[in-house]
Amino acid sequence: MQAPPDLTDRTSLNRNRLRAYRLDAPAMFLQQAAALEIQERLALVNRTFTAPAIVTPFPEIWGNVVPHAQIIADSETLDIQAGAHDLVIHGMALHWANDPVGQLVQAHRALRPDGLFLGAMFGGQTLHELRAALAEAEVSMTGGLSPRVAPMAEIRDIGGLLQRAGFALPVADSLTQKVTYETALHLMRDLRAMGEANALAARNRTPMRRSVLAQTISRYANAFTVDDRVAATFEMIYLTGWAPADSQPKPLRPGSAQARLADALGVDETPGNDPAKPWDV
């Protein structure tokens, strides 16, 4: 069976990220916010981690999340040793992975039993305003549509990916960041400065027509202006999972309960219809 084509052009992605290193730090505010959120979540875990690892394309931002963490470059094949870590953090790179399940599997294999995985990534609601304005403008001006904004996973699917990768007690939740800009063009410039510009393998390699860009800016302003500025949505999805261990809580076998739910709730139990008998009519 032929492998599916790559979603991401890694050469272009790496070039975008290298360009971001040379631009002003304020554009990296979403990476910084995600790193701070991961730190706060770690503070709630009653555990001291002695062998942490962080997967990130921006080590200068993520390197101080956990003291003495091994920094792992974000690549399709992670340079990470099996069973070497009690904590693995995947910092804001999964949304560009050609094989996100493969990334999670590699992180899982790197964990010791009862080790913790924490991840942060952009979710499916990210840049929905820009996606809509670009699509409408390009269709109206050219009659066609080319990939401009990377498709991102919906939160309802992420928990399933954690389970497929073998994690126990998987949890996925999201926080939404609303950011405003002077115009859609200022948003696009900020995305470039973040290293989040278009790196799709199927993208159109020719520059966007000026007419399409002008139409995009106009449509964006008409549909998404708030207090004379345009709004942009960034959905931040946070992932939590544990490497399985015998010490972790396990669900009870069906029928093994020792107490009645009605007693716990302090209510009278009302007998239902016997499923073995016909319904009363």
| 76 vs 203, more confident | 76
Instruction: Indicate the pTM of the whole model.
Output: 0.85
Confidence of residue 19 (pLDDT cuts 50, 70, 90): confident
CATH topology of domain 10-244: Rossmann fold (3.40.50)
Q: How far is CA 170 from CA 65, 110, 161, 167, 242, in A?
A: 22, 17, 9, 6, 7
Split at pLDDT 50, 70, 90, the class of 242 is: very high
Q: Which helix (H) or strand (E) holds 131?
A: helix 128-142
Residue 279 has pLDDT above 80, yes or no: no
Neighbouring CB atoms inside 10 A of 56's CB total 24
Domain boundaries, given as residue ranges, for the chain: 10-244
Q: What's the sign of the alpha-carbon dihedral 135, 141, 146, 147?
A: negative
For 186-228, the DSSP string reads HHHHHHHHHT-S--BTTS--SPPPHHHHHHHHHHHHHHHEETT
Check pLDDT > 70 for residue 75: yes
- Residue 257's pLDDT band (boundaries 50, 70, 90)? low
Contacts of 253 (CB under 8 A, 6+ apart): none
Digit-coded pLDDT (tens) for 168-190: 999 999 999 999 999 999 999 99
The percentage of residues in the chain with a pLDDT greater than 70, rounded to a whole number, is: 85
Q: What is the per-residue pLDDT for 205?
A: 82
